Structure formats: structure tokens, C-alpha cells
Amino acid sequence: MRIIEVGPRDGLQNEALPVPTELKRQFIADLAVAGLKEIEVTSFVSPKWVPQLADAAEVLADLPDGVLASVLVPNQKGLERALALGVRRIALFTAASDGFTLKNINMTVDESLAEFERVMAAFRKAVPDGWVRGYVSTIVECPVSGPVAPKKVASVSERLLAMGCDEVALGETLGVAVPRQVKDVIAAVAHLSKERVAWHFHDTRGTAIANVAVCLEAGYTAFDASAAGLGGCPYAKGAGGNLATEDLIYFLEQNGIKTGVDPVRLAQASLPVLQHLGRAPFAKAQLASLAE
């Protein structure tokens, strides 16, 4: 089982209040101590668009040993910055709907894939044994274009894998899906190697764990999550958007799957960041662990 912790990047990127670099470093270090092995630590998106992650270079300069740290890279310019800092694991970001990519990265899906071909070529040349993940967002519904056809998810995934991505991360961006809909996506991507497909659920309406359950049953072994449920939070102060790593770890362990993650240390890892943001802990298994 692989758990890909996205809190430091996806969890923080939309926070308006700047989080000091030292707090981010401590967050990442504490997540590593809790037992998380794969962490998406920052992004090389333009600081103009995501000022919260303008300190990407400083965050990268002090990573804990033994962690597989990845960074989001939006384009060739971002890649150049990442490569100059010795990055060996990158993530590319597209979607299964043009409405979403046009709004977020100002390209159609096709245009983003064309850009990624160039990014990929440059990255592979610089880091032949590097690792690349491709995000496919809006796998069930797009906030701009509405419902998304599962076959569109499959075709974008195929193209990302064909151009050399080591894995695709399928993102249910709106947090609207129930297992019935996730099963339709699973059916559409069933021809892809399960080892190359990770799932990224949002828990906006409380359905993320139910969706994880059907992916587990189908044989998938890689899930994204964000400590404390940070990120993906369009609604209310304190509300979670991303699936909380605490809830995911609890669910996996209670299913007899050893994750190597210490639930109490994990529950504590986000507390300094939450305190800085003026938030109380919100994730259910986090609250339970903190109370035990």
C-alpha cells in the first residue's frame, strides 16, 4: 500500500495566510517521522498565481532523509526551476475536462498534454531515472463543464502513461462522487495497470472513504491524502476538502493493512500549521487519535 501525502502542497496552496517556511519544513519533517514515505512537498507554479508556495526552493533545501519528495511542475519554466534544485520526482497537472484546465492552467486538455510532452522529454533527459506522476482531475464532475465521461478519464490517463508518466493520479476534484460513480471510472480504466493508477479523493460531502473502499476492493494500492484534510476547501473555515490522511490511515489499518504510519504522530503533525491558520483540527480520525 502506498499513501501519497499531499498536505504540504495541495493542502496549503489555496491558503491565503502565508505559512512560514520553517513551519512547512517542520510539517514535512513531522509527517516523515509519523511514517509517511511519499510526500508532495511544494509546487513550481508561478508565485504570482500561488504565492503560498513561493518558497519552494527553501522548502526543498531542507527535506528529511528517506522521504520520496515530489513537486508539482506546471510547465517548462517550472521544470527548469525544479531541475536547478535537483528535483527527481515531479507531478504534472491536467484534467478530464477542458473547462477545468482552461480555468486553472489556461490550456485545453490537449494543449496541456502537448506541453507535458515537452516537459517530460526535458525531465527524462536531465533525470533519466526520475519519477513522474500525471494528475487527472475532474474524473467524475467538472465545476465548469458538468459531468465527465469515464472514457475521457481513461483516454487522458492512457496518453499520460504513453508519454512516460510512471503513474496517473485520478482526482475526484469536487468531492461529489459516490461508489457507484467511482466504479464506472474503475471500469473505464480497468485495462491500465493497477500499479500505475493512484486515487485522489476529496471528502467535501463525506463520501471519500466509501470511495476508497471500492478502489481497495478493486485491487488498487495507492491513495493520495492530506494531513488534517487540509486543502480542497471551498466552503467554510475549518471544513475539510481533501480526504484526511488520518481517516485514510485509520480505514486501511482497520482493514488489516499495515501502513507503517503512527496515527497519533500523524494527528499531531499538522497541529502547528492549523494553529498558525487559526483552525481547530477537523478530521475525524485525527480528533479521535488526539483524544486517545
Q: What is the DSSP string of 224-237?
A: EEBGGG-S---S-T
Pairing of strands 146-147, 141-142: antiparallel
Of the candidates 142, 165, 215, 233, the residue annotated as catalytic is: 233
Contact between 140 and 147 (Cβ < 8 Å): yes
Segment contacting a second copy by CB under 8 A, of 50-58, 102-110, 128-136, 245-253 = 245-253
Q: Which of 192, 239, 262, 272 binds a second copy (CB under 8 A)?
A: 239
For residue 61, count other CB atoms closer than 10 A to its CB. 12
Residues found in the chain: 292
Tell me which residue of 158, 148, 137, 286 sits closest to 224, measured CA to CA.
137
Q: What is the DSSP string of 83-95?
A: HHTT--EEEEEEE
The nearer residue to a second copy, 48 or 291, going by C-beta atoms, is 291
Residue 233 annotated among the catalytic residues of the structure: yes
Phi–psi pair at 96, nearest 5 degrees: -95, 10
Contact between 199 and 239 (Cβ < 8 Å): no
**What is the total count of residues that contact a second copy (CB under 8 A)?**
41
Q: Which of 102, 209, 218, 276 binds a second copy (CB under 8 A)?
A: 209
Please tell me what DSSP assigns to residue 196.
Answer: G
Interface pattern 270-289 for a second copy (x via CB under 8 A): ----------xxxxxx-xx-
The nearer residue to a second copy, 150 or 281, going by C-beta atoms, is 281
Q: How far is the CB of 179 from a second copy (least distance, A)?
A: 6
Q: How far is the CB of 167 from a second copy (least distance, A)?
A: 25
DSSP H or E segment with residue 39: strand 38-43
The nearer residue to a second copy, 74 or 241, going by C-beta atoms, is 241
Footprint on residues 138-197 left by a second copy (CB under 8 A): 175-181
Q: Which of 240, 266, 268, 274 binds a second copy (CB under 8 A)?
A: 240
Q: Which of 204, 242, 245, 259 binds a second copy (CB under 8 A)?
A: 204
Q: Which of 125, 236, 258, 278 binds a second copy (CB under 8 A)?
A: 236
Footprint on residues 95-124 left by a second copy (CB under 8 A): none
For residue 191, count other CB atoms closer than 10 A to its CB. 9
The nearer residue to a second copy, 49 or 235, going by C-beta atoms, is 235
Q: How far is the CB of 10 from a second copy (least distance, A)?
A: 18
Q: Cell numbers of 257, please? A: 493493512
Is the dihedral angle over the CA atoms 103, 96, 161, 227 positive or is it negative? Answer: positive
Q: Cell numbers of 142, please? A: 467538472
Active site residues: 233
Interacting residue ranges for a second copy, rule: CB under 8 A: 175-181, 203-210, 212-213, 234-240, 244, 247, 250-251, 254-256, 280-285, 287-288, 290-291
